[in-house]
Every structure is written in C-alpha cells, then in structure tokens.
Amino acid sequence: MKPTFKIGQSVQVNLGDEVGAKYDNKNYRVIGYIKDYLNEYVDGKITGMKTFQEGQIRGGYKYHNYYDFEPEYSTPYLDVKDTIKVWGVRLGYINRELYFFEEDVIEIDEKDIPYKYVKWTDEEKEWMSKESKHWPRDEKGRFV
C-alpha cells in the first residue's frame, strides 16, 4: 500500500471526524468517530499513520483457586478481529496528535500551522476573563 500523504504535508480536517476507540456494553472495542457533534474545518500537518485494532476484550476477572483458596486474576487481552489504519494530524506544534480516516483528510496547499492551536477567539477569551471576575471564590481566592 503506497501512502496517500507525506509526513509534514498540509491538510484540512473536520474536527467532527476525529477517530478513536470506543467500547460497547459487551467490552467490544470499535474504532469510529468520537466527536460527531463538531463541524469545524481546520488546517493541520500530517505526522504519520497509526493502526487501531478492533475486537473483543477477554479476561480481566478474578477467580478462586479451590486448592489454596487464594483469588487469582486473569490478565485481560484483546482478541483482534480487524486492523484499521488512520492518519495522525497535528493542528499546532505543541498540540496532541488527532487521528482521522483517509477519506476525511483533504489535501491543501502548503501552509504553516500555529505554535498552539486554540479554538477560542480573542473576543471569547476577553469575555471569559471579564466574566470570571464575578464568579464566587473562597477566602484563598480559589473558585468555589
């Protein structure tokens, strides 16, 4: 498989398409969208690929040994059913890497990314600074 993107290449991603591991009530690990409520396109840089594994988590429970009456622990393990490759993208140089499916990554012209990606605008930061001055605090100045 030849990679579609190169490390350091500029791309655009929708934050609502971020991929991660989720678990259902049967301890089954599924790879899918974790923030589907967002819909904001941002620029970033490709930092590499990662493989996620889907499957059933087995073990991880206590059982009693009837010969010496001491509880023993079964080490959990992942029974792998499928392996999924995703692209790692950074939105800022010191931000953590986010993962996206290949079809959700859009190639763009070369752009530089900020030192740190912050979602808040300057107006929102100023409003929060003014608003927090009215919040209740204890005698040491900490928020209650």
pTM confidence score: 0.74
For the chain, the domain total comes to 1
Whether 139 maps to a domain, the answer reads no
Give a yes or no: residue 55 inside a domain.
yes
Does a structural domain hold residue 105?
yes
21 within some domain: yes
Of 19-23, 64-68, 105-109, 125-129, the range with the lowest mean pLDDT is 64-68
d(CA 51, CA 124): 37
Average pLDDT over residues 9-28: 89
State pLDDT tens for residues 21-77.
Answer: 888 877 888 888 887 667 889 999 999 999 999 998 887 776 666 666 666 777 888
**78: in domain:** yes
Can you give the residue range of the structural domain that contains 19?
A: 10-132
Is residue 113 within 8 A of residue 92, CB to CB? The reply is yes
- Tell me if 143 is assigned to some domain: no
Residue 18 falls inside a structural domain:
yes
Residue at 86 is within a domain: yes
The pLDDT of residue 68:
64
